[in-house]
Structure 1
Amino acid sequence: MAKHLGAKPRIGLLGTGPWAGRTHAPALAGHPGVEFSGVWGRRAEAAEELAAASGTRAYEDVDALFAASDAVAFALPPDVQAPLAVRAARAGCHVLLDKPVATTVAAAREVAEAAEEAGVASVVFCTLRFAETTARWIEERKAAGGWFLGEAHWLGSLYGAGSTSVYADSPWRREKGGLWDVGPHVLSVYLPVLGDVTAITAAAGPEDTHHLVLRHSSGASSTATLTLSAPPEAAEVTLSLHGAAGRAELPRWGGAVEAFGTAVDALLTVARTGEPHPCDARFGLRLTEILTEAERLAAQSAAAKA
């Protein structure tokens, strides 16, 4: 059974890596409407350090953190996140998930079903859906309608020559690449504006690069080139829509801390009203389904050419 939220809900954090330290923990510690109830991590010393820096306590037992929290936020690799999210939901905790929810359809479906069966609120933190400028742009483009084509380039240089990014040490990003790391961002814009994906074509490019061509339920089509291995000189993030309203380009967005704070507010609203959020665990499942099929088709295409 879902936990009832008091005047100041208790929210815990699972994860101690750079994403947790730079985004989740500052947002929770600085949020005036919640109590940051604690931190759990796979390395106890890292949990202690992050908790001390954030004015909360560390937990060695994740179930104890669930018991001490009304909701929990996740900053973990997707396939570590998924089973723990199921446990959290079954403990009655509302769940603020990171993208992708999981890298297998079965695991993502288990998260969505656990949240629904327990009656807990779920929100997936797709940054562009919660950052103020991009969230407003998405809603305005959705209301305008009449879109014919979408084009996106997300050329990250995480693994490009000379990169010093702290996120380059992430084993799951190294294994799954841009398709799974930045693909959810692009899809989180395309799906609400152009409709669900009804057909996929996918091909692999250099390094971890993937090229996608998507057909949407609105009749529009879209393309996406996704990588984490671009040369730094070629790095860019662009997404544009073309249609009856002309050309519209996704604007720049602000910091992730503010966007995560908005996601926290969204989770609390769902928990109090019972009205599902468009970016819930079921949406997270759909992202995993699309990315899994794209990965399969790209691998199939590469094998055929070998």
Structure 2
Amino acid sequence: MTSAATTLRVGLVGTGTWASKTHAAALRAHPGTDLVGVWGRRPEAAAEVAAAHGTRVFEDVDALFAACDAVAFAVPPDVQAPLAARAAAAGCHLLLDKPLATSVPAAREVVDAVRAAGVASVVFFTLRFATVTSDWLARQAAEGGWFTGRADWYGSLYIPGDTSELTASPWRVGRGALWDVGPHALSVLLPVLGDVTSVTAARGPADTVHLVLAHASGASATAALSLTTPAKAAGVDVELRGESGIVSMPTGGASVDAFGVAVDALLESVRTGRPHACNAAFALRVTEILAAAEARLASSGGEPGPGE
């Protein structure tokens, strides 16, 4: 295990805009990490990211794992999961993106590998690391007495003519809002209201999905998830109602800053050996809930998607 006084050697798996502008930028700037290299499925893209951030490109992913104490992932979930399991088996700590995977067996394979190797894991659920929202969630969890909650994630990615990386992402197009923004909704509801004991799901327009959740605390919650909302109707809103009244989650904070906090969390988990609340096991639970919702949708007449 890396000591508190040692800089963590971190490798990056991924070459997209998110990998470069958030992951690589934060890892290069963080005083506790040394970005030792980049690997990607497209070698030319990996070389560009490596050059932009003053590090080297690796042609073999296992060679990257061998050179690192930890690995950060910025690839689609079903590419991430098997590679993360390999990295853990190689003795690397894991800084993962959400969702961990889009199937329960793939997510469980990562958790099993982490436990077998005794490595640390942190999954970057953005709002759990952005200071404004994480502090608010901690206060509401401590307050307790919540009767119901609501998490609305109305995104507007598919605007005509938009050619952004997010819009063109095959896994987002294929899996839709349930798997892209569903993890965000669950990541803020679960720490306040408790684990989900049952989930009901219904389809709305395009890829929109509506969830009704029962929680272990006795509270209920709803979540509205969409990537295809009209631009003027888009927005994120989280509300809790309970004995203390009605409260709404504040917004704010840059992703690169929040990712730096996630790096801090991984370093702390490595140093102390204590699992972080947003570790691979928590991400597995999120995958289990989303998979259950997906099964409800399938049984009621087909999969949702961001198409017409």
TM-score scaled by length of structure 1: 0.96
Shift of 1:30: 0.9
- Per the alignment, in what secondary structure is the counterpart of residue 302 of structure 1? coil
Alpha-carbon distance in structure 2 between the residues aligned to 1:3 and 1:117 = 18
Q: Does 2:226 correspond to 1:249?
A: no
Alpha-carbon distance in structure 1 between the residues aligned to 2:201 and 2:2 = 42
Shift of 1:165: 3.3
Alpha-carbon distance in structure 1 between the residues aligned to 2:162 and 2:246 = 33
Which residue number in structure 2 is paired with residue 264 of structure 1?
263
Shift of 1:302: 2.6
Which residue number in structure 1 is paired with residue 236 of structure 2?
237
Q: 1:251 to 1:6 in 2, by over 3 A?
A: same
CA deviation profile, 1:230-271 (whole Å, cap 9, x unmatched): 111111111111111111111112100010011011011111
The number of residues matched between the two structures is 302
Q: Does 2:153 correspond to 1:172?
A: no
Alpha-carbon distance in structure 2 between the residues aligned to 1:5 and 1:155 = 41
Contact 1:204 1:299 in 2 (8 A): no
Which residue number in structure 2 is paired with residue 295 of structure 1?
294
Alpha-carbon distance in structure 1 between the residues aligned to 2:40 and 2:260 = 21
CA deviation profile, 1:84-114 (whole Å, cap 9, x unmatched): 0000000000000100000000000000010
Shift of 1:21: 1.5
Q: Pairwise mapping of residues 115-134 of structure 1 onto structure 2 (< 5 A)?
A: 115-134=114-133
CA RMSD after TM alignment: 1.2
What code does the residue aligned with 2:150 have? E
Which residue number in structure 1 is paired with residue 224 of structure 2?
225
Alpha-carbon distance in structure 2 between the residues aligned to 1:231 and 1:190 = 25
What code does the residue aligned with 1:104 have? S
Which residue number in structure 1 is paired with residue 10 of structure 2?
11
Contact 1:161 1:231 in 2 (8 A): no
Alignment gaps of 5+ in structure 1: none
Q: Pairwise mapping of residues 77-226 of structure 1 onto structure 2 (< 5 A)?
A: 77-226=76-225
Q: Does 2:278 correspond to 1:279?
A: yes
What code does the residue aligned with 1:53 have? A
- Per the alignment, in what secondary structure is the counterpart of residue 284 of structure 1? helix
What code does the residue aligned with 2:196 have? V
Alpha-carbon distance in structure 1 between the residues aligned to 2:179 and 2:194 = 20
Which residue number in structure 2 is paired with residue 68 of structure 1?
67
Shift of 1:164: 4.5
Shift of 1:166: 2.6
Alpha-carbon distance in structure 2 between the residues aligned to 1:114 and 1:166 = 31
- Per the alignment, in what secondary structure is the counterpart of residue 301 of structure 2? helix
- Per the alignment, in what secondary structure is the counterpart of residue 269 of structure 1? helix
Alpha-carbon distance in structure 2 between the residues aligned to 1:3 and 1:291 = 34
- Per the alignment, in what secondary structure is the counterpart of residue 95 of structure 2? strand
Alpha-carbon distance in structure 2 between the residues aligned to 1:196 and 1:163 = 37
What code does the residue aligned with 2:98 have? K
Contact 2:114 2:121 in 1 (8 A): yes
Contact 2:2 2:8 in 1 (8 A): no
Contact 1:161 1:232 in 2 (8 A): no
CA deviation profile, 1:7-39 (whole Å, cap 9, x unmatched): 111011000012112210110111122111111
Contact 1:137 1:250 in 2 (8 A): yes
Q: 1:98 to 1:282 in 2, by over 3 A?
A: same
Alpha-carbon distance in structure 1 between the residues aligned to 2:67 and 2:45 = 20
Contact 2:195 2:216 in 1 (8 A): yes
Contact 1:5 1:70 in 2 (8 A): no
What code does the residue aligned with 2:9 have? R
Q: Does 2:47 correspond to 1:35?
A: no
Contact 2:2 2:271 in 1 (8 A): no
Contact 1:3 1:93 in 2 (8 A): no
Poorly superposed stretches of 4+, deviation over 6 Å? none
Which residue number in structure 1 is paired with residue 306 of structure 2?
none
Q: 1:58 to 1:105 in 2, by over 3 A?
A: same
Contact 1:18 1:167 in 2 (8 A): no
Contact 2:77 2:99 in 1 (8 A): yes
Alpha-carbon distance in structure 1 between the residues aligned to 2:194 and 2:143 = 13
CA deviation profile, 1:170-226 (whole Å, cap 9, x unmatched): 000000011100000010000000000001110111111100000000000000110
Shift of 1:6: 5.6
What code does the residue aligned with 1:236 have? G
Contact 2:69 2:93 in 1 (8 A): yes
Contact 2:8 2:33 in 1 (8 A): yes
Higher mean C-alpha deviation, range 221-230 or range 5-14: 5-14
